[in-house]
Structure 1
Amino acid sequence: MQEFSKIENAIKTRMAGQPAGIIEDFTEKAKLVHAGATGKADWANIGDLREDDQVKLADLTETDQALYSKLVLVKLNGGLGTSMGLSKAKSLIGIRKDKTFFDVILEQLQVIRERTGKKIPLLFMNSFNTQADTLNYRGIAKLNDDLPSDFLQNMVPRLDAGTLEPLEINGIEDTSHPDLWCPPGHGDIFLSLKETGLLDKLIEQGYEYAFLSNGDNLGAVVDGRIITMMARQSIDFAMEVTPKTKADIKGGVLYREKNGAQRIQLLETAQVPEGHMPDFEDINRFEFFSINNLWVRLPALKERLRQGPLSLSLIVNPKEVGGKKVLQLECAMGSGIGQFDKTKVIEVPRSRFAPVKKCDDLLVRRSDAYILDENKALVKNPQGRGVEPVVKLSDDYKKVADFERLVQEVPSILELEELVVEGPVLFDIPVTLKGKVKFIAQNGTAKISKLGKTSFENETLQL
């Protein structure tokens, strides 16, 4: 492979006009790959957390009300929901009968503002694809008095897997063409806050703590006990984890480095070296996984960024674009924990994690198995089984538009253990499902009403 200086020049040419800090950060990542970095972790360096690294949220009992005036909320909102067949902001999906993700997030904000008497700011980190959808939604553009409602994550070049130079595709002369660019992962949030000037502005206005969470996780609501603990113990970065189940074996885990700075680090699935996936998925070894709810002390983040580019754990994501093999260089925001010495892992209940990654999740979250509690958090219905039902829908339901067409009436699944649907079964009437239920559509779309009943328990039915 050619010398890195030529690659560096090509990257700087492609990224001309972007802030120097963004270019420097991306160039450092490309340099690592050129030197042989694969984004895979050194398994020999993965140690266990110390006993005092982790604290239970339930053991934190005090809340300093004054700290709410120093808190800002940030929602990751750059995703288009392409895996669910969408070409608009994922937060526009209806999550309850008459509410989108945006609606619930805004209700959560209203609750915490009324409860604390503080106009806590909410910022959305958007992509170019989601910014208009977000700012055009009910009142979002004017959420905060003297702060913007959003900021943009950066875009970086896709790299040719063979040369590591910015991707070129025959027939595409315009270097701003979207096929040539990609988001750098949500770890970009820290640099985006800095380069947009928001980090300085927040600190100047007296904000000291930021609560970062995914826009599709409606269980992520403010808990004042966490910032109180951070203030009293001088913690710069805290990360929420919850116990793993078999459904979460791919979730990112936390460990302490055996060598070097011996800090807490995040290990994502994409970073697991070959042959060690069984170790990574071992619930006895890694009992908890990160739910991407993070708490950051802003002055500490500013100081770390002043020292130079963040060395967030690299994720090398191979893709194919325009018939060419490309590399997308990414990082996860949770890996920010490895940039600080004063950190804490917080064990939280599963109720703080209710994401929607596919339409299987959407059915569960829309159903009576979930409710909005007094904080407007989306949580399991206490009248249910206590264990989340498993829902496996065929690819006929993969896209939201098809899901909406086929699930006209969301079934009652309070007492459901598992639902399997094979083929396009049309839920055209309200039904109740209990235990393990399987529906099979044999010849095209089949209406559930044709079965002549509305309650199903521990049975397999062919339509």
Structure 2
Amino acid sequence: MSLLVADLARGVMTEFQEKLRQQHEEAMHRELEALLHSASESQAEISRKEFDGFKKLFHRFLQVKGPAVDWAKINRPPEDSIQPYEKIRAKGLPEDIASSLNKLAVVKLNGGLGTSMGCKGPKSLISVRSENTFLDLTVQQIEHLNKTFNTDVPLVLMNSFNTDEDTKKILLKYKHYKVKIHTFNQSRYPRINKESLLPIARTMGTSGESAEAWYPPGHGDVYASFSNSGLLDRLLAEGKDRPSGAASSSWRSPTKTRADVKGGTLIQYEDHLRLLEIAQVPKAHVDEFKSVTKFKIFNTNNLWISLPAIKRLQEKNQLDLEIIVNPKTLDGGLNVIQLETAVGAAIKSFNNAMGVNVPRSRFLPVKTSSDLLLVMSNLYSLDAGSLTMSQKREFPTTPHVKLGSSFTKVQEFLSRFENIPDMLELDHLTVSGDVTFGNKVSLKGTVIIIANHGDRIDIPAGAMLENKIVSGNLRILDH
């Protein structure tokens, strides 16, 4: 009898939960329709298509009952599913390299703002080397490719509503470059009140108080927004077959170090190669996920794929990307959630997918001012838009650099260096507090500089610090 009661109780609970899910979904649909009625005719047409994608994501979010993976089913990828970069490079270039390159399009995510580094505009417009921005370097790389092989490889930028206007103004400077540049916009989704599970937006606007009510839903949106824009069909009509840098049947993955432990990794799961992100890992297995022995590589989101395959899977609605629930707290203290997807999660949807284990020299992220210091230094040489490790560096590894909160914002970071120190022989640098660097400073070995609260340290011009710990108060006064 007790088992029967328990079964009935579970049945009632399941029925109640299903009814609650339906209520949330119906309420969300009503709110979205109300938002569409507040939009202009042209805006409503675009937003309705984007909202269709959001509704599917929200529906799946309501169905989620736990972690997206069963940990017991996770295995290391088979050896032949991840190819060493050097093995592929050794095959050399095809005889008709120009014909192969003319089937290529380079797609770059350009929807992010540089807010984490104290910038107001697109992150791609931050100066990283010799007054060249990220975008400048990208355009220079592709132009060099087109000039060298007499090809027509275009650059495609996926902007967001945050970056589109500023980016289009900047693109005018490249009109004489040998690079065709196309843009399309990432979807715009409403942020969800964590308690009510309803949009916080009251209008379709994205300025003033409405700005924080919307968000671009992660780089996994590239498949839908690329297709919805019409640009995918246009490139296919022009004979483009595979993009570089946004989505693909080969996923680039460097060997993981302790600095990369939170990065997604490739796994074998139910006979498919799959991307596993830390947000999908059950709490009890997070430490195991971060291990550099069990999961030896991490995903860079630099991917290659056949454009016809994207079109086919998109039309058949067969791109099943795991949902990433990203919690945020807005300035007023309101707790919201963003439903996002990751571009690499699509790997399980493509036949014959594989990974490429690239060397660290092929992966140079700039997410913090510490990363920015490295690429601005003499550790790297700039040639045709590409940054390569200086031949004067005796070790192939990059130094570990950790700059304190006084260096977080780009403008403050730049104000603390009269010029970037010589770092060719540096292994480790930690800087904390109110610290400035004079002209022609040289850093070698392990250098730790700590200015405690209320103290200031000015490293004088021409100073050479090798295996030094500097602390206390050091001021160099002008005379």
The equivalent position to 1:386 in structure 2, one of 385, 396, 402, is 396
Percent identity for Structure 1 against Structure 2: 35
Task: Say whether residues 1:7 and 2:16 are aligned partners.
Answer: no
Secondary structure at 1:312 match in 2: coil
Take 2:326 and 2:84, find their aligned partners in 1: how far apart are those partners? 34
Secondary structure at the aligned position of 2:105 is classed as strand
Q: Distance in 2 between matches of 1:270 and 1:341?
A: 25
| SS of residue paired to 2:245 | strand
| Stretch of structure 1 that moved more, 190-199 or 269-278 | 269-278
- Aligned twin of 1:313: 322
Please name the residue that 2:256 is paired with: 244
Describe the SS at the equivalent of 1:368: coil
Cα deviation for residue 26 of structure 1 reads: 1.5
For 1:121, the equivalent position in structure 2 comes to 154
In the alignment, the residues of structure 1 paired with residue 87 and residue 402 of structure 2 have an alpha-carbon distance, to the nearest angstrom, of: 36
**Contact 1:143-1:149 at 8 Å conserved across structures:** no
**Are 1:448 and 2:459 counterparts?**
yes
Amino acid across the alignment from 2:438:
D
Distance 1:105 1:392, change over 3 A: same
Q: Distance in 2 between matches of 1:275 and 1:301?
A: 35
Higher-RCO chain (CA-CA 8 Å, sequence separation at least 6): 1
Of 184-193 and 12-21, the range deviating more from structure 2: 12-21
Structure-2 residue corresponding to 1:183: 216
Q: Is the 8 A contact 1:237 1:343 kept in 2?
A: yes
1:231 counterpart residue number: none
Offset at 1:77? 1.2
Query: Whose helix proportion is higher, 1 or 2?
Result: 2
- Alignment-derived partner of residue 41 in structure 1: 69
Amino acid corresponding to residue 351 of structure 1 in structure 2:
S
User: 369, 372, 375: which one pairs with 1:359?
Assistant: 369
> Per-residue deviation at 1:285?
1.3
When residues 145 and 100 of structure 1 are mapped into structure 2, their CA distance, relative to the original with a 3 A threshold, is: closer
Check the 8 A contact 2:158/2:186 in 1, yes or no: yes
1:284 Cα offset (Å)? 1.6
* Structure 1 position 212, deviation (Å): 1.6
Amino acid corresponding to residue 45 of structure 1 in structure 2: K
Report 1:20-39 matches (<5 A). 20-37=48-65
Once the two structures are superposed, what CA deviation does each residue of 1:280-334 show, in whole Å capped at 9, x if it has no partner?
1111211111111100100011000110263111100111223222110001111
Stretches of structure 1 that go unaligned for 5 or more consecutive residues are 215-235
Change (3 A) 1:285 1:113: same
Rounded to whole Å, the distance in 1 between the matches of 2:47 and 2:222 is 14
Moved more, 40-49 or 412-421: 40-49
State how far apart, in whole Å, the 2-side matches of 1:358 and 1:456 are. 24
Correspondence for 1:330 among 315, 340, 346: 340
Q: Which moved more, 1:57-66 or 1:296-305?
A: 57-66
Distance 2:106 2:211 in 1: 29
Question: What TM-score results when the alignment is normalised by the length of structure 1?
Answer: 0.88
1:63 equivalent in alignment to 2:122: no
1:39 and 1:118 map into 2 onto residues whose CA distance is 46
- What residue in structure 2 maps to residue 287 of structure 1? 296
User: How many Å separate the matches in 2 of 1:175 and 1:48?
Assistant: 46
Among 222, 229, 237, the alignment partner of 1:196 is 229
More displaced stretch, 7-16 vs 56-65: 7-16
Deviation, 1:119, is 1.7
Structure-2 change in CA distance of 1:76 and 1:144 (3 Å): farther
Q: What is the CA-CA distance between 1:409 and the residue it aligns to?
A: 1.1
Q: Which moved more, 1:18-27 or 1:96-105?
A: 18-27
Shift in Å at residue 370 of structure 1?
1.6
Q: CA-to-partner distance for each residue in 1:140-179, whole Å, 9 max, x for gaps?
A: 66479996521111110111212222125xxx66665222
Deviations 1:103-160 (A, max 9, x none): 2112111211112210210111111222233222264664799965211111101112
Q: Which amino acid is the alignment partner of residue 401 of structure 2?
A: V
Q: Greater Rg, structure 1 or structure 2?
A: 2
Query: For residues 126-275 of structure 1, what are the structure 2 equivalents within 5 Å?
Result: 126-137=159-170, 139=172, 142=175, 149-168=182-201, 176=206, 177-212=210-245, 237-258=249-270, 262-275=271-284
3-state DSSP of counterpart to 1:166: coil
Separation (CA, whole Å) in 2 of partners of 1:422 and 1:107: 36
C-alpha separation between the residues in 2 aligned to 1:277 and 1:434? 35
| Aligned-partner Cα distance in 2 for 1:50–1:14 | 48
Which deviates further from its counterpart, 287-296 or 33-42?
33-42
Contact 1:12 1:23 in 2 (8 A): no
Q: Deviations over 1:55-112 (max 9, x none)?
A: 1221121423121110001111111111001111112212113322122112111211
How far apart in 2 are the matches of 1:87 and 1:150? 20
Q: Aligned equivalents of 2:302 and 2:436: distance in 1?
A: 36
Conserved? CA contact 1:39–1:315, under 8 Å = no
| Aligned match of 1:50 | 78
- Tell me the C-alpha RMSD between the 2 structures: 2.3
Alignment deviations for residues 411-433 of structure 1 (CA, whole Å, 9 cap, x no partner):
11111111111112111221111
Whether the 8 Å CA contact 2:35–2:203 is kept in 1: the answer is: no
How many residue pairs are counted as aligned between the two chains? 433
